[in-house]
Amino acid sequence: MVDYGKEVKAVVLAAGKGTRMKSNKPKVLHEIFSKPLLGWVIRALESINPIIVAGHGFEDVKKYLENYPDCSIVEQKEQLGTGHAVKMCLGELKGFRGDVLILCGDTPLITKETIQNFIKYHKDNNSDLTVMSAIFDNPFGYGRIVRNAQNCVDRIVEEKDAKESEKSIKEVNAGIYCLNWEKMQSAFNDLKNDNAQKEYYLTDIIAWANSKNYKVNGFVIEDNNEIFGINSREQLAIAASVMNKRHLRFLMQEGVTIIDPDCTHISPETTIGKDTVIYPSTYINGKNEIGENCKIGPMSHLRGNCKIADFVKIGNFVELKNAQVKSHTNVCHLSYVGDTEIGENVNVGAGTITANYNSITKAKNKTIIKDGASIGSNTVLVAPVTLNENAFVGALSVITKDVEKNSLAITRNEQKEYKGWVTKKKGIVK
């Protein structure tokens, strides 16, 4: 982690409506692994405090940012272009003398490593303005990066304005910039909107910088997927798939066995220890910690905020949420475990449910299962409830009270048998 402290700030452009999403929700609040696109961008910024420029759905974006107290937000009431969006931040950046990173809030695949390398390149080359670029074999539709004899960026030419010689250029604008703010801030008061859209374009700062004889460099990104922007539901699904496969690849390189990567989904916010096996059709969402030598799945669902120790088995069709499971414990198939702490060497029988939610009061209560406890199949534990050390619960029980250590708790009725009942009901006469 590189801590830029007060040297670098970021501006995240998040004002777009996202018309092609066909949604009432602002585009940047659409989710991958239950985290909005904007959240993934903020995560990649790590130690850099961003200013979020919001427009459509401003109040919704503002409410989401309550999760990020280090972020600030400004409103772009009229969407007059990307250059105008940055201009809205002049007040927030007044007196700032460092570098300003500008990026879009709909690029969830950007990584902290790339951002750090980008800023390092900008600083190492004493740049006044650095443009992130990418190389595409088929650059159709992208703005082309035109370099001068010194290999600095001369200008960006949009597809519709490009000459044939310029259209052959494969280096394109990635839409991410780093600016020496002390020198570049004046550009946003000088931008013109003399174009068909009557918008103020961020790309025009390149020509402005060159007119001042400032140093404008280009940084070529290694993985083009990182600048993939989301404008439709289809692109949202593509980005989710890329993010997932990237994390699965990392986990396998770190010693985790993924039986079938094509049907396994694991959030990048989940860490997994070596020699753990993830079986097919498992979906692990949100932030979780999974230890070493575990077996998860098949068809398990971790909904987030789970901490699983070493040598734990989470069986097929098991759902966990906000659960802590200590070592050498089994949670068997068809169980639901939520808002629960489970100790070591516990056996949670098949079909066990922790009833943690009161639909009347809307309260969620906690279940505590201590070391050595054993729970029979098809049992319901009604929270708040505690099973103490080595407690044993008989199958098909509904437990509403704490169980003392080394005790058996059972609530089912005595089995009764009515001889000849079926014969009578079917009217069978012998």
328-378 confidence digits (pLDDT tens): 999 999 999 999 999 999 999 999 999 998 888 899 999 999 999 999 999
CATH code for the domain of 101:
3.90.550.10
Q: What integer pLDDT is reported at residue 4 of this predicted model? A: 66
Task: Judge if 208 and 258 occupy the same domain.
Answer: no
Task: Tell me if 133 is assigned to some domain.
Answer: yes
Task: Tell me if 217 is assigned to some domain.
Answer: yes
Provide the angle, in degrees to the nearest 10, between the axes of the packed helices 112-124 and 37-45: 50
Task: Judge if 151 and 242 occupy the same domain.
Answer: no
Q: What integer pLDDT is reported at residue 430 of this predicted model? A: 57
- With a cut of 60, say whether residue 90 has pLDDT above it: yes
What is the C-alpha separation between 412 and 427, in angstroms, rounded? 31
Task: Judge if 182 and 312 occupy the same domain.
Answer: no
Confidence band of 26 (pLDDT split at 50, 70, 90) = very high
Confidence band of 116 (pLDDT split at 50, 70, 90) = very high
Task: Judge if 194 and 297 occupy the same domain.
Answer: no
Task: Tell me if 155 is assigned to some domain.
Answer: yes
Looking at the chain, the whole-number percentage of residues with pLDDT higher than 90 is 87
Confidence band of 246 (pLDDT split at 50, 70, 90) = very high
CATH code for the domain of 247:
2.160.10.10
Question: For 33-79, what is each residue's pLDDT tens digit?
Answer: 999 999 999 999 998 999 999 999 999 999 999 999 999 999 999 98
End residue of a domain, out of 227, 259, 283? 227
What is the C-alpha separation between 127 and 152, in angstroms, rounded? 10
Question: For 259-316, what is each residue's pLDDT tens digit?
Answer: 999 999 999 999 999 999 999 999 999 999 999 999 999 999 999 999 999 999 999 9
The one-letter amino acid at 54: A
Q: In this structure, what are the phi and psi dihedrals at residue 66, rounded to the nearest 5 degrees?
A: -60, -20
The rounded mean pLDDT for the chain is: 95
End residue of a domain, out of 183, 198, 227? 227
Task: Tell me if 1 is assigned to some domain.
Answer: no
- With a cut of 60, say whether residue 89 has pLDDT above it: yes
Residues forming a β-bridge with 12: 52, 103
Task: Judge if 297 and 193 occupy the same domain.
Answer: no
Which residues are catalytically annotated? 333
How far the first Cα of the chain sits from its last, in Å, is 83
Q: What integer pLDDT is reported at residue 429 of this predicted model? A: 58
Task: Judge if 213 and 163 occupy the same domain.
Answer: yes
Task: Judge if 184 and 247 occupy the same domain.
Answer: no
Task: Judge if 298 and 151 occupy the same domain.
Answer: no
Instruction: Name the residue range of residue 331's domain.
Output: 233-409
Question: For 124-135, what is each residue's pLDDT tens digit?
Answer: 999 999 999 999
End residue of a domain, out of 182, 199, 227? 227
Task: Tell me if 425 is assigned to some domain.
Answer: no
Q: What integer pLDDT is reported at residue 5 of this predicted model? A: 59
Tally of CB atoms within 10 A around 424: 10
Task: Judge if 298 and 350 occupy the same domain.
Answer: yes
Task: Tell me if 85 is assigned to some domain.
Answer: yes
pTM summary value:
0.93
Q: What integer pLDDT is reported at residue 161 of this predicted model? A: 83
What is the C-alpha separation between 167 and 160, in angstroms, rounded? 9
Task: Tell me if 423 is assigned to some domain.
Answer: no
- With a cut of 90, say whether residue 428 has pLDDT above it: no
State the total domains in the chain.
2
Residue 227's region, left for phi above 0, alpha for psi from -120 to 50, else beta, is alpha
Task: Judge if 248 and 122 occupy the same domain.
Answer: no
Tokens of 422: 């079926």
Question: Cα–Cα distances in Å, from 4 out to 105, 111, 221, 254?
Answer: 20, 16, 21, 28
The one-letter amino acid at 335: S
SS3 67: helix
Q: What integer pLDDT is reported at residue 195 of this predicted model? A: 81
The one-letter amino acid at 179: L
Task: Judge if 56 and 141 occupy the same domain.
Answer: yes
Confidence band of 2 (pLDDT split at 50, 70, 90) = low
Task: Judge if 245 and 218 occupy the same domain.
Answer: no
- With a cut of 80, say whether residue 107 has pLDDT above it: yes
Lowest mean pLDDT segment, chosen from 149-163, 234-248, 298-312, 346-360? 149-163
In the numeric block, the tokens 């005790």 are attached to 407
Q: Transcribe 138-185 into DSSP letters.
A: S-TTSPEEEE-TTSSEEEEE-GGG--HHHHT--EEEEEEEEEEHHHHT
3-state secondary structure 380-410: EEECCEEECCCCEECCCCEECCCECCCCEEC
Task: Tell me if 418 is assigned to some domain.
Answer: no
